Structure 1
Amino acid sequence: MTGVNPLSLAGRRAVITGGSRGIGAAIATLFAEAGAEIAICHLNDASGAEALSATFSAMGKSLPVMECDVADETAVEALARWTDEVLGPVDILVNCAGIGGAEKPFGEVSVGDWDRMLGVNLRGVFLVTKRYFPGMVEREYGRIVNIASQLAYKGAPGLAPYVAAKAGVVGFTRALSYEGAPHNVMINGIAPGPVETPMLAGHSDAWLAMKKGQLPVGRFGKPDEIAPTALLLASEAGGAFYCGQTLSPNGGDVML
């Protein structure tokens, strides 16, 4: 492989859900720098999408953008038809769309709270993957990266719905990898620690201080520190022998 960049995405097409801000935007930018064609979706974040589009324009690249609620099966089908038109067959899927929220004692968690959290963070991963996975299998190539959380392993008081959803993402990643790997469709995940994104804004100051104090590195991560892990898993050579793994750039919050 002398002279070949194992992390190149040249000629590859990638869809990134939740790609307008935070970790999703950092991944989209890095993937574009690595040579991939990118399309993203977002929900209620037109300003973030516009800002990322401007970044892409400055790079001399276009960025197709669509609004999509990944928990809605009809919306996901529309997203997939749209990417078929604007991008073509998709080689790489990053399931990054997600929601968080303030901590809430379990006794105060409503059925609506539970359903919405799992709807976006777990059902959404299922729906989007279900639409793109068969084409990857047929073409005998694909990379799927699911964004989970270190809380899937560690748990956290007041965050039962979120933790349950992210633990489901880890389990889904492991299970589907058995079906994808024989067709060169490698499915893996990332379980970041606390990262400086809008999602952290939903937590109390006390929770944020407590969380930061638990981290051996003494600080929260940045989106740009998570994106390289996604690039590794999404690349043709770099991600070829990762199967059903969930990598954990988390500042030492969980050491597996």
Structure 2
Amino acid sequence: MNSIDLDGQHAVVTGGAQGLGFAMARRFVASGATVSLWDLDEARLETAREELGSAASTELVDVADWASVDAARARTEERAGKISILVNSAGIAGPAAPLDVYDIETWKKVIDVNVNGTFYVNRAVVPGMKERNYGRIVNIASVAGKEGNPNASAYSASKAAVIGLTKSLGKELAQYDIAVNCISPATAQTRILEQLTPEHIEYMRSRIPRGRLLEVDEAAAMVAWLVSKENSFTTASTFDLSGGRTTY
């Protein structure tokens, strides 16, 4: 593992109890940062905190609820210090279904978690970063946000929105020492696959020229650099982790 210097940094990772979020939190701790894991799964939060040790703390947070997010931000800063790194990894896939029969309430839930949740967390954390003239933000999008996946209109639309939000916010904050970027991973081997059919998973795997799913530690390696001080110029950008599926 390459050495990335995150000494003295404090990171908030939403969806940090598992999957991509937890892998990134683990990499941050190994690089010298402290982390606050924000998640809705209390049991997994406790397990994650125990594995990461004293460098980690947890918050039970519903990212789709502004009051929950803002309260978590206040508690985090009071307990663990100012937030200098933010990774928005919380998200849901929703079921695989054609748009013309897609459940309307499920559509709203996917948009609420993936889009509104990303907005709320950025909205809560950015003012402090602006005040201190420093911050590193990574929003987790998806190749689905670039290409669209059939029978995944809600998820594809939500991740396209995350890409657009990232580009807009990155340009808004370009005058500060705040970098705002997103990654657009291909399908990773995480619990989110439990929401999908085997046929849908195989379709997505078949689209990846490398012929396999993304490993979570591969995503963590890229994000560790994106949230470091070394990333002092690149902002409002999208970084692919697609195994060759997307090249733009």
Q: TM-score surpassing 0.5?
A: yes
Percent identity of equivalent pairs: 34
Q: Which of 121, 141, 151 is equivalent to 2:134?
A: 141
Q: Which residue of 1 aligns with 2:241?
A: 249
- TM norm structure 1: 0.93
| 2:94 aligned with 1:101 | yes
| CA drift at 1:101 | 2.4
Pair 52,6 (structure 1): closer, same or farther in 2 beyond 3 Å: closer
1:79-94, aligned counterparts within 5 Å?
A: 79-94=72-87
CA distance, structure 1, for counterparts of residue 129 and residue 201 of structure 2: 40
Count of residue pairs the alignment pairs up: 247
CA distance, structure 1, for counterparts of residue 125 and residue 109 of structure 2: 23
CA distance, structure 1, for counterparts of residue 44 and residue 173 of structure 2: 33
Local SS of the residue matching 2:188: coil
One-letter amino acid matched to 1:98: G
| 2:188 aligned with 1:226 | no
Could you tell me whether the CA contact under 8 Å between 1:141 and 1:184 is conserved in 2? yes
Local SS of the residue matching 1:183: coil
- Residues 193-251 of structure 1 deviation map (CA, whole Å, 9 limit, x = unaligned): 000000012111112222222211111111111101111110001x1121111101111
Output the aligned Cα RMSD. Answer: 1.3
Local SS of the residue matching 1:248: strand
Local SS of the residue matching 1:191: strand
| CA drift at 1:108 | 1.5
1:202-221, aligned counterparts within 5 Å?
A: 202-221=195-214
The gaps in structure 2 that reach 5 residues or longer are none
Q: Which residue of 2 aligns with 1:16?
A: 13
One-letter amino acid matched to 2:17: S
CA distance, structure 2, for counterparts of residue 150 and residue 16 of structure 1: 21
Local SS of the residue matching 1:247: strand
Could you tell me whether the CA contact under 8 Å between 2:29 and 2:55 is conserved in 1? no
Local SS of the residue matching 2:59: strand
One-letter amino acid matched to 1:42: D
CA distance, structure 1, for counterparts of residue 82 and residue 219 of structure 2: 26
Local SS of the residue matching 1:219: coil
Q: Which residue of 2 aligns with 1:28?
A: 25
Q: Which residue of 1 aligns with 2:177?
A: 184
- TM norm structure 2: 0.96
| CA drift at 1:54 | 2.1
- Residues 107-134 of structure 1 deviation map (CA, whole Å, 9 limit, x = unaligned): 1223311211111001001111011101
| CA drift at 1:96 | 0.7
Deviates more, 1:126-135 or 1:6-15: 6-15
| CA drift at 1:78 | 1.2
Q: Which of 75, 90, 104 is equivalent to 2:68?
A: 75
CA distance, structure 2, for counterparts of residue 185 and residue 211 of structure 1: 34
Could you tell me whether the CA contact under 8 Å between 1:71 and 1:120 is conserved in 2? yes
Local SS of the residue matching 1:244: coil
Q: Which residue of 2 aligns with 1:118?
A: 111
